[in-house]
Structure 1
Amino acid sequence: MTKPRFSWQFLAFVFAVAVGNAVAHLCTSAMPLQVGSLIDGFGLTATAAGVFGFFQVGTLALGMIFFAPLSHRYRPFVVCLTGLLIAAASNAALYFSPASLPLLCLLGLISGFGYCLMLSATVGAPAASAQADKVYAASSSGGLLLLVALLSLLPLANSYFGVRGIFLGIAILLVVSIPLLWGFRYTPATAAPAAAAAARVDAVSGRSLKSGTSLLIIWVLYSLGTGAMWTFAERIGHALHIPGPTIGFILSISVFMALVGSGLAALLSDRLDRATAIGIGLVGGGATCLMLALSTGLWMYALACVLYWIVTIFFYVLMLGTAAAIDPTGRLATLGTGCERLAFAFGAPIGGMFVDMGSFLWIGLLALTSCSILAPLCLPALSRAVKRAHADRHIDAVPVPLV
Structure 2
Amino acid sequence: MLESRTQESIFDKPMVIAAAVIISIVGNAVFIGMPMLVGSLADTLGFNEQQLGWLASADLMGIFVASIAVSLLINKVNRQTLAYIGITIAIIANFCSTLFHQFDTLFMIRIISGLGGGICYSVGVASLAGTHKTARNFSILLFVLVAVNAIELYTFPDISAKWGVDGIFLFFCAAFVGTYYFVRYLPKTNEHNKIENSEVESDEQLQDANQQSATEIPSWIPWLCLAAVACVYINVGAFWAFIERLGVDANLSNDFISNTLALGTLFTLTGCAIATWMSNRFGQSKPLLAAFILMTAILFLLAFKVDATSYVVAATVFNFCWLFIDVFQLGTIGNIDHTGKYAALVPGAQGLTQSVSPAVAGYILSEGYGYSGVMMLCAVGTISAMIIYTVVYAKLKSIAPDIADSN
TM superposition score normalised by structure 2: 0.73
3-state SS in 1 of match to 2:252: coil
Residue 304 (structure 1) aligned with residue 306 (structure 2): no
- In structure 1, the partner of 2:286 is 276
In structure 1, stretches of 5+ residues that fail to align are 194-203, 393-403
Greater mean alpha carbon deviation, residues 309-318 or residues 225-234: 225-234
Q: Could you tell me how far apart the structure 2 residues matched to 1:162 and 1:244 are?
A: 15
Residue 380 (structure 1) aligned with residue 391 (structure 2): yes
Any conservation in 2 of the 1:15–1:142 contact (CA below 8 Å)? no
Query: What does 1:329-344 align with in structure 2 at a 5 Å threshold?
Result: 329-344=339-354
Query: What does 1:41-120 align with in structure 2 at a 5 Å threshold?
Result: 53-74=56-77, 76-95=79-98, 97=99, 104-120=106-122
- In structure 2, the partner of 1:27 is 30
Give, as a single letter, the amino acid of the residue that structure 1 aligns with 2:127.
A
One of 324, 327, 337 as aligned partner of 2:334: 324
- In structure 2, the partner of 1:215 is 225
Q: Could you tell me how far apart the structure 2 residues matched to 1:296 and 1:159 are?
A: 26
3-state SS in 2 of match to 1:177: helix
In structure 2, stretches of 5+ residues that fail to align are 197-213
| 1:172 Cα deviation from its structure 2 partner | 2.7
Query: What does 1:1-400 align with in structure 2 at a 5 Å threshold?
Result: 1=5, 4=8, 10-30=13-33, 53-74=56-77, 76-95=79-98, 97=99, 104-149=106-151, 164-185=166-187, 191=194, 210-238=220-248, 240-295=250-305, 297-352=307-362, 356=367, 358=369, 360-372=371-383, 375-381=386-392, 384=395
- Distance change in 2, residues 1:242/1:133 (3 Å): same
- 1:319-361 residue CA offsets vs partner (Å, 9 max, x unmatched): 2233333344434223332222332343334445556565544
Q: Could you tell me how far apart the structure 2 residues matched to 1:191 and 1:231 are?
A: 42
| 1:247 Cα deviation from its structure 2 partner | 2.0
Give, as a single letter, the amino acid of the residue that structure 2 aligns with 1:119.
Y
| 1:373 Cα deviation from its structure 2 partner | 5.9
Any conservation in 2 of the 1:155–1:166 contact (CA below 8 Å)? no
| 1:116 Cα deviation from its structure 2 partner | 1.2
- Distance change in 2, residues 1:187/1:259 (3 Å): farther
Any conservation in 2 of the 1:124–1:333 contact (CA below 8 Å)? yes
Q: Could you tell me how far apart the structure 2 residues matched to 1:161 and 1:357 are?
A: 32
Q: How many residues matched?
A: 377
Q: Could you tell me how far apart the structure 2 residues matched to 1:389 and 1:102 are?
A: 51
3-state SS in 2 of match to 1:184: coil
3-state SS in 1 of match to 2:132: coil
3-state SS in 2 of match to 1:299: helix
| 1:39 Cα deviation from its structure 2 partner | 8.3
- 1:267-314 residue CA offsets vs partner (Å, 9 max, x unmatched): 334444333333223222212222333446422331221011001111
Give, as a single letter, the amino acid of the residue that structure 1 aligns with 2:269.
L
Give, as a single letter, the amino acid of the residue that structure 1 aligns with 2:283.
D
Any conservation in 1 of the 2:38–2:52 contact (CA below 8 Å)? yes
Q: Could you tell me how far apart the structure 2 residues matched to 1:83 and 1:255 are?
A: 27
Q: Could you tell me how far apart the structure 2 residues matched to 1:301 and 1:37 are?
A: 20
Q: Could you tell me how far apart the structure 2 residues matched to 1:301 and 1:81 are?
A: 40
Give, as a single letter, the amino acid of the residue that structure 1 aligns with 2:176.
L
Greater mean alpha carbon deviation, residues 304-313 or residues 43-52: 43-52
- In structure 2, the partner of 1:396 is none
Q: Could you tell me how far apart the structure 2 residues matched to 1:366 and 1:155 are?
A: 27
Any conservation in 1 of the 2:154–2:259 contact (CA below 8 Å)? no
TM superposition score normalised by structure 1: 0.74
Q: Could you tell me how far apart the structure 1 residues matched to 2:86 and 2:59 are?
A: 13
